[in-house]
Amino acid sequence: MTKKLINHPDRVVEDMLAGFLLAHSDVARQSELDPRAIVRRNLHPDKVGIVIGGGSGHEPAFIGYLGDGGVDGVAVGNIFASPSPYPVLAAIKETDQGQGVLLIYGNYSGDCMNFSMAVELAEMEGHQLREIVVHDDVASAPRGHEEERRGIAGEILIYKVAGVKAKQGATLDEVYQTTEKANQWIRSVGVGLHPGSLPQTGKPNFELADDEMELGMGVHGEPGIQRTKMVSAREVARQLVTMICDDFDYSGAEVAVMLNGLGATSLLELYIVYADVVKELQKRRVRVYKSFLGEYITSQEMAGCSLTVLKLDDELKHLIDVHSDMACAHF
Amino acid sequence: MTKKLINHPDRVVEDMLAGFLLAHSDVARQSELDPRAIVRRNLHPDKVGIVIGGGSGHEPAFIGYLGDGGVDGVAVGNIFASPSPYPVLAAIKETDQGQGVLLIYGNYSGDCMNFSMAVELAEMEGHQLREIVVHDDVASAPRGHEEERRGIAGEILIYKVAGVKAKQGATLDEVYQTTEKANQWIRSVGVGLHPGSLPQTGKPNFELADDEMELGMGVHGEPGIQRTKMVSAREVARQLVTMICDDFDYSGAEVAVMLNGLGATSLLELYIVYADVVKELQKRRVRVYKSFLGEYITSQEMAGCSLTVLKLDDELKHLIDVHSDMACAHF
């Protein structure tokens, strides 16, 4: 059992939000419409709203991405569970400034159901909405079934693209089109080395032998595609890059790369893997334009990492280069 | 044994530096004088240089703080081991632009010895230098013996103060005086819940029972002052704030607070603890002016956190408010 710094198993999310709101009172506030909707202060007037959401336990995802050049509203679920439709609806109402709202969420059945229900309710109230469902995890369904795939760390770069595009005054359709382009051009895959644990119970959310790793594992410990003996950083990098480049043709392209730590994997290890990722990409004539290393979406103290690759054109390069000033992320 | 993403136990630091330099080639480069000295690109001309250093394994400390409003040179040691005098000397030579160099390091015997030796060598070559030894860890020696204390997460806020002060064109003496003021006004204490492991071996660097925690534990797992049964986040916050406020009179002051995760403790938990830290400080009439939550100095996948409190006057408030754009940190 993992020791956790909590006060009460039933109040984990509420206590976390209390601390978040104290630490980031300049950026974020709790919606008066629903306590599980956290929204940005000082919304840019006339801007398209960006609303995201998902389960808790993945911090800094998702509340950490509220801010300038980031997102405007976040619906907060229980640990590893989708938010209900009501905080999504509240976030839409709070952030729609007459230009409509783009909703972005990962492809999980609960999120799809609850965001869709919120969309129905909000459209009845006259809100203009578009939706982007992120499904970047190549390990979760084969080619030809891309829309069945789960959303993982690619979501973070998708928020960045949408957030900056909206900040620059684009219309809802324009923000949707650019963001959906990025969504088509992004691929991720993860590797799990050690489980995280549920903060309420301290119990691990999957099991893995002491000398094993699992390629393709999801951010909640969803089964991957191959469980093998632990290999070197170089071999992990080769496997991750191969899976991604076998799935989408990045050859000759400039790309953004995110190497995301899942919780317990040190930044030291991420840098070691990253050097090999760059080499593997170079072998395939893929040029890294910009890279992001760190913990962007975690699974408590899960060990392992995920690699994300996003093909860039001039528009996406420009959007990725604009600095975003979000609650827990500045990139 | 903990599984680690490495290639070879003898090349952990070199492989990490290779990845770091690829990821941050816009900010940092390897010194030609010594491969273990990493220095900033595009140094501001005529600025006082800031050189830091310490053992590896604590990433983002120390290389992550290179950058604008941060530090100019970092001497990189082996895992949990002081750098030798030569990379310190190289970093001094690379960053001295005629205005002298301020060296900042934590109070560990190896660092003190090797930085002092580098200072002797550099002074013989005509460099003008001052040194700040950070000793913020109240658990490591009693009151009246402050200068025997270890340096922990307080070092990061000290870099920030020095980096911004130097950026603003202050002289070496001015940078020294302001930074030393902050050094006198800062206190930290940590709590350990679970050991990290050495990346070369995967072996834990201390032992702690499944239901225990240790108050006052250092960032290398140095023994603390009290081993107890695991308690709630609220009680941990109370203990940390009490130790700090019993040691230094923050009552009535405005302060900067850093709540630093040691590696495996989730941001969710840090937010929960933070809400209670703010309450405990309020009880003692201490007002949080600015807060920093996240992983600033780690010990691999060690679980636990440290609390740092820095008293602010108008000058320090101003310096803390200036945005710094460092390789792994933007605050």
Question: Token pair for residue B56?
Answer: 């590896």
Structure tokens at B146: 């402050």
Q: State the count of interchain CB pairs (< 8 A) between A and B.
A: 175
CATH topology of domain B186-321: Hypothetical Protein Tm841; Chain: A;domain 3 (3.30.1180)
Interior/surface letters B36-52, b for 16+ CB within 10 angstroms, e for the rest:
bbbbbeeeeeebbbbbb
* Chain A interface includes B205 (CB < 8 A): no
Distance CA B170, CA B198 (A): 40
**Residue B60 in tokens:** 């983002």
Cβ of A205 under 8 Å from any chain B Cβ?
no
Which candidate in B1, B3, B5, B272 is best for mutational testing of the A interface (most A CBs within 10 A)?
A: B5
Inter-chain residue contact B57 with A271, CB threshold 8 Å: no
Tell me the β-bridge partners of B39.
Answer: B29, B73
**Strands, E, within chain B: which ranges?**
28-30, 37-40, 49-56, 67-68, 73-79, 101-106, 129-134, 186-194, 212-215, 226-229, 254-261, 287-294, 303-312, 325-326
Over residues B180-203, the mean pLDDT reads 95
Q: Nearest Cβ partner of B213 from A3, A64, A230?
A: A3
pLDDT at A134: 98
CB contact under 8 A, B274 and A300: no
Name the class of domain B9-185: alpha beta
**pLDDT, position A331:** 87
Residue B278 at interface with chain A, using a CB cutoff of 8 Å: yes
Q: Considering CB atoms only, which of B6, B193, B267 is closest to A60?
A: B267
DSSP characters over B138-176: GGGS-TT-GGGSPP-THHHHHHHHHHHHHHTT--HHHHH
- Alpha-carbon dihedral of residues A211, A263, A289, A101, nearest 10 degrees? 130
Judged against a pLDDT cut of 90, whether residue B205 lies above it is answered with no
Nearest to A216 by CA among A112, A307, A110, A82: A307
> Among all residues of chain B, which has the CA nearest to that of A305?
B5
Q: Does B215 touch chain A (CB under 8 A)?
A: no
CA B196/CA B198 separation, integer angstroms: 7
The pLDDT value recorded for residue A4 is 96
Interface contact A272-B16, CB threshold 8 A:
yes
Q: Report the 10 Å Cβ neighbour count for A78.
A: 16
Domain positions in chain B are 9-185, 186-321
**Residue B247 pLDDT greater than 90, yes or no:** yes
Please state, for a pLDDT cut of 70, what percent of chain B lies above it: 100
For chain A, say whether B210 makes contact (Cβ under 8 Å). yes
Running DSSP on this structure, what letter comes out for residue B127? -
B5/A269 Cβ within 8 A: yes
Question: How many Cα neighbours within 13 Å face the side chain of B287?
Answer: 7
Task: Name every chain B residue with its beta carbon within 8 A of the beta carbon of A22.
Answer: 274-275, 278, 288, 291
pLDDT at position B315: 98
Q: Splitting chain A (331 residues) into consecutive groups of 10 residues, what average pLDDT does each group show?
A: 94 98 98 98 94 98 98 98 98 98 98 98 98 98 96 98 98 98 98 94 91 94 93 98 98 98 97 98 98 97 97 98 93 87
Is the Cβ pair B300, A233 closer than 8 Å?
A: no
Q: What is the pLDDT of residues B144-168, one digit of tens each?
A: 999 999 999 999 999 999 999 999 9
State residue A221's pLDDT score: 87
pLDDT at B38 over 90: yes
Residue A146's region, left for phi above 0, alpha for psi from -120 to 50, else beta, is alpha
Annotated catalytic residue within B145, B194, B220, B330: B220
Find residues 161-190 of chain A whose CB sits inside 8 Å of chain B: none
What CA–CA distance (Å, rounded) separates A216 from B4?
A: 18
Query: Cα dist. B235→A263, B274, B277 in Å?
Result: 24, 12, 10
Annotation says B220 is catalytic: yes
Task: Return d(Cα B192, Cα B225) in angstroms, integer.
Answer: 11
For chain B, the straight-line distance linking the first and the last C-alpha, in angstroms and rounded, comes to 35
Taking all residues of chain B, what is their mean pLDDT, rounded to a whole number?
97
Hey, do B9-185 and B186-321 end up sharing a CATH topology, with the first three levels equal? no
Residue of B nearest to A271 (CA): B19
* pLDDT, mean of residues B176-203: 96
Q: What per-residue confidence (pLDDT) applies to A329?
A: 85
d(C-alpha B246, C-alpha A46), whole Å: 51
- The average pLDDT across B300-306 equals 97
- Position A330 scores a pLDDT of 83
Burial class from Cβ neighbours inside 10 Å (0-12, 13-18, 19+) for residue B32 reads exposed
- pLDDT at position B1 is 82
Rounded to two decimals, the pTM is: 0.98
CB contact under 8 A, A269 and B213: no
- C-beta neighbour count of A33 within 10 angstroms: 15
pLDDT over threshold 90, residue B329:
no
Q: How far is CA A145 from CA A139, A239, A242, in A?
A: 11, 21, 19
Q: Which B positions 78-117 lie with beta carbon below 8 A of chain A?
A: none
Neighbours of A164 (CB within 10 A): 23
DSSP state of B64: G
Closest CA to B257 of B154, B144, B329, B168: B154
ipTM for this prediction: 0.98
The pLDDT confidence band at residue B330, using thresholds 50, 70 and 90, is confident
Phi, psi of B235 (to 5 degrees): -70, -35
pLDDT for position A135: 98
Residue B321 has pLDDT above 90, yes or no: yes
Choose the closest CB to A210 out of B1, B22, B232: B1
C-beta atoms of A193 and B5 within 8 A? yes
* Residue A1 confidence (pLDDT): 82
Name which of A3, A193, A273 is nearest B194 (Cβ-Cβ): A3
Structure tokens at A72: 């405007």
DSSP collapsed to 3 states, chain A = CCCCCCCCHHHHHHHHHHHHHHHCCCCEEECCCCCCEEEECCCCCCCCEEEEEEEECCCCCCHHHEEECCECEEEEEEECCCCCHHHHHHHHHHHCCCCCEEEEEECCHHHHHHHHHHHHHHHHCCCCEEEEEECCEHHHCCCCCHHHCCCCCHHHHHHHHHHHHHHCCCCHHHHHHHHHHHHHCEEEEEEEEECCECCCCCCECCCCCCCEEEECCCCCCCCCCEEEECCCHHHHHHHHHHHHHHHCCCCCCEEEEEEEECECCCHHHHHHHHHHHHHHHHHCCCEEEEEEEECCCCECEEEEEEEEEEEECHHHHHHHHCCCEECCCEC
Computed from CA positions of residues A292, B328, A263, B80, in that sequence, does the dihedral angle turn out positive or negative?
A: positive
Span of A263-277, B76-90, B210-224 with lowest mean pLDDT: B210-224
- Of B273, B64, B133, B83, the C-alpha closest to B189 is B273
